[in-house]
Chains A and B, each alone.
Chain A
Amino acid sequence: MSNGIIIRTQDLARSFGTVRAVDGITFEVDSGTVFGFLGPNGSGKTTTIRLLLGLLEPTGGRAEVLGADTMRDGDAIRQRCGALLENTGLYERLSAEENLDFYGRVWHLSAAERAARIRELLSGLNLWERRTETVANWSRGMKQKLAVARALLHRPQLVFLDEPTAGLDPVAAAALLEELDQLVHQQGVTVFLTTHNLNEAEKMCERVAVIHQGRLISIGSPDELRLRQGGGRLEIVGRGFTEGVLAALRQRAEVKAVSQENQHLVLELAGEVDTAPLVQILVAHGVQIDEVRKGKASLEEVFLELVKE
């Protein structure tokens, strides 16, 4: 394994009875990056994390994390990783400080280290003032933040975050992501982030992989995924969109799809293409153009397209 690659899987698979939860996935994650693992509910994201952490044994293929085989060296992997799994995993009867102190002891941090690190992380997440409160009384957003702090407590090289903003309102989710982004960059850790929130993946991830029904269906940077799926689009606001002009546009090779609603025409394009000829067709057919917007499909649209396929 090269120094730059922190996770490498080869045909990794896991079945539960007849269900193939993870079906022969192969991918690599570079060190020091935020890697997004996208997929709808039940697509195999959580099972993949469990496999990578050595919590589950694969039924096929193999995986290496931090240079260690997940089948043989699960303990060594978990030693150097942090994880926020499906649930926050916080002890609700204990205070925030007690929760972190317990996990600090688990990772053999000295008393002084624990105190300093707890202060650093809780202050960074604006939770320091409330450290002595019982976690049970906290909001979901605060619990998620505390769970992120716990995952980073022992300065792991790699952190698995399984849908860290699930169940949070948009404001709390945005705040958590911002704080998480700052922390991740300050600490310089590699993040394996699973989510079905594509906006957050687009904001945070250098590379993303899309998993559906246990299979990896696409991998690359968000831009690469957009490009691969066509990606470009042209939006025209105006009047006079006749059947004739729509038919003329549909005949063009660079136009994948045409949709029109009232005074709004959207052309889905096959990649990065020159749009001037398309505008000329519109003008030639007497369309009165008020506005032309050239844009990219969002990652969400790319994702929906991939999953539909």
Chain B
Amino acid sequence: MLTDIFTIIQKEMKEILLQRGSRRAGMLNMLLMVGVFGIFIPLQSASMWFDSPLFPIMWSWMPVFMTTWLVADAVAGERERHTLETLLASRLSDRAIYLGKLGAAVLYGFGMALTNLLVAAVTVNLIRFSADGLRFYPLDLFLALLVFTVLACGLLAGAGVLISLRAATARQAYQRLSIVLLALWLPLILGMQFLPASWKEALSRLFAGASASGILLIVSLVLLAIDAALVAAGLARFKRARLVIE
């Protein structure tokens, strides 16, 4: 089954690279993302990039959101382009197809996030080497970031594939996924704005006392639970007998 999952991942990656029409356009799109999140923003923050963990946390996983379109396209796109039924008529198991599609989205998002983190480190070192010497992220923060990014990609991919399963077109899936993401983030951001001052203070104290990597790991544990639930739901829902008639 691992071979089958890898075969699907490989095909999805090729399609991701070609979704803008040509390999060159696909590569340029990726380079653009690295340019913004791996060079431009770290340049703006300079040595703050390593001093404040918030910068790498916030910006490095922005590309995760870029996978939204990919996961929306995963099933709904194949259905729309009439390639899904042929895939389902092959020897591949439902599980291998589902996990392959999920894996491709996670791998892409994680790959972009890791690339951005590494390019950002090089960028900041290039401009600040004479003043600060050679620097890198604290190891615990870097590892926590990697774990967090994988799980955040898993969350998006898990939810995206589930939504994609129910959508008629990739566009519809993308719109629905965007609404879900907005519905998740908006209450969080607005809620923070309207929290009583005493609560905000208490929260600040709590976060000030904890390490960034520790907080990331706690969030990661929550994400892990949600990811597991989403994958279980996806595996239960991804059945060819249903997909063929939908």
Contact = CB atoms under 8 A, between A and B. Distances in A.
A93 B89 contact: no
Interface string A170-193: 000000000000000000000000
A93 B18 contact: yes
Nearest to B243: A55
Given A87-B82, A105-B10, A106-B4, A55 B89 contact: yes
Interface stretch (A5-13, A75-83, A209-217): A75-83
A289 to B, nearest CB: 56
Given A78-B91, A105-B7, A106-B92, A56 B245 contact: yes
Contacts of A87: 82-83, 85-86
A85 B90 CA distance: 11
Contacts of A78: 89-91
Nearest to B19: A93
B69 to A, nearest CB: 14
Nearest to A78: B91
A94 B91 contact: no
Contact of B83 (A55, A90, A105): A90
A53 interface: yes
Interface in B13-28: 14-15, 18-19
Contacts of A86: 82, 85
Interface in B229-246: 240-241, 244-245
B18 A94 contact: yes
Given A89-B86, A92-B81, A93-B18, 15 more contacts: A16-B245, A55-B88, A55-B241, A75-B93, A78-B89, A79-B91, A87-B82, A91-B11, A91-B83, A93-B14, A94-B11, A94-B18, A105-B10, A106-B90, A106-B91
A108 interface: yes
Q: Which of A53, A105, A106 has the most CB of B within 10 A?
A: A106
B164 to A, nearest CB: 17
Q: Which of B15, B82, B85, B89 has the most CB of A within 10 A?
A: B89
A50 B92 CA distance: 16
Nearest to B240: A55
Interface of B: 3-4, 7, 10-11, 14-15, 18-19, 81-83, 85-93, 240-241, 244-245
A57 interface: yes
Given A93-B15, A98-B14, A102-B7, A55 B85 contact: yes
A85 B85 contact: yes
Interface residues of A, number: 30
B15 A91 contact: yes
A103 interface: yes
A86 B88 CA distance: 13
A107 B91 contact: yes
Nearest to A14: B245
B3 A107 contact: no
Contacts of A53: 89
Nearest to A80: B91
Nearest to B94: A75
Contacts of A103: 90
9 contacts: A55-B89, A56-B245, A75-B93, A78-B89, A88-B82, A93-B14, A102-B10, A106-B7, A106-B90
A56 B241 contact: yes
Interface string A81-123: 1010111111111100010001101111000000000000000
A222 B87 CA distance: 34
Contacts of A16: 245
Contacts of A91: 11, 15, 81, 83
A108 B3 contact: yes
Contacts of B85: 55, 85-87, 89
A107 B82 contact: no
Contacts of B241: 55-57
A91 to B, nearest CB: 6
Nearest to A94: B14
B150 to A, nearest CB: 25
Contacts of A150: 86
Given A79-B91, A103-B90, A105-B7, A89 B15 contact: no
A88 B83 CA distance: 8
Q: Which 8 A-B pairs have CB atoms at the shortest separation, nearest pair first?
A: A89-B86, A87-B82, A93-B18, A105-B7, A83-B89, A79-B91, A55-B244, A102-B11
A286 B19 CA distance: 76
Contacts of B7: 102, 105-106
A86 B89 CA distance: 12
A185 B15 CA distance: 35
Contacts of A102: 7, 10-11
A90 B81 CA distance: 9
Contacts of A57: 241
Nearest to B4: A106
